[in-house]
């Protein structure tokens, strides 16, 4: 008996790529035959009131290069259902930090009607792009830990 190909989908900004991102992609790939990842475009990141440090094309290439990822697509809007239909996904993966939120309860209802299951993975505790950004700001603002311009100039001479 031949079973249907299980296509999985997940999406994110993937700015300041970290172990939490990798854990999600690795776990997702373990539950599907083909993993397609949506990478949020710079315009959509800005629409959400944020700014990515890493440009879209670079983030796309980083995610594309991960062995658990079979394909990447631009995520240019927030319509998860439209993308799942477009790529034929039967399962969508997301971090459990979204579980029980009004937004994702609505997505669950919409996706269920179309036969798409949502799988929530445990959020990797202690790491996020937001935390990395906060740590970088603290380092940059602290004269004791900041990388001094003269040090950078000296390093270029090496």
Nearest Cα neighbor of 40 from 6, 80, 90 is 80
Q: Which two tokens stand for residue 86?
A: 């477009």
Catalytic residues: 48, 50
Cβ count within 10 A of residue 83: 20
Quick one: tokens of 24? Answer: 């999600």
Q: Would you tell me how many other CB atoms lie within 10 Å of the CB of residue 104?
A: 18
Ramachandran angles phi, psi of 148, nearest 5°: -80, 145
């Amino acid at each position: 008996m031949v079973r249907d190909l299980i296509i999985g989908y997940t999406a994110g900004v993937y700015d300041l790529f970290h172990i939490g991102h990798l854990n999600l992609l690795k776990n997702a790939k373990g539950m599907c035959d083909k993993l397609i990842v949506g990478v949020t475009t710079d315009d959509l990141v800005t629409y959400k009131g944020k700014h990515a440090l890493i440009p879209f094309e670079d983030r796309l290439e980083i995610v594309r290069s991960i062995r658990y990822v079979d394909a990447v697509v631009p995520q240019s809007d927030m319509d998860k259902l439209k993308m799942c239909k477009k790529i034929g996904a039967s399962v969508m993966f997301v971090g459990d930090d979204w579980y029980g939120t009004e937004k994702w309860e609505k997505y669950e209802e919409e996706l269920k009607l179309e036969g798409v299951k949502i799988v929530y993975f445990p959020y990797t505790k202690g790491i996020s792009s937001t935390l990395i950004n906060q740590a970088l700001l603290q380092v940059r603002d602290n004269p004791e830990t900041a990388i001094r311009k003269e040090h950078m100039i000296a390093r270029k001479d090496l």
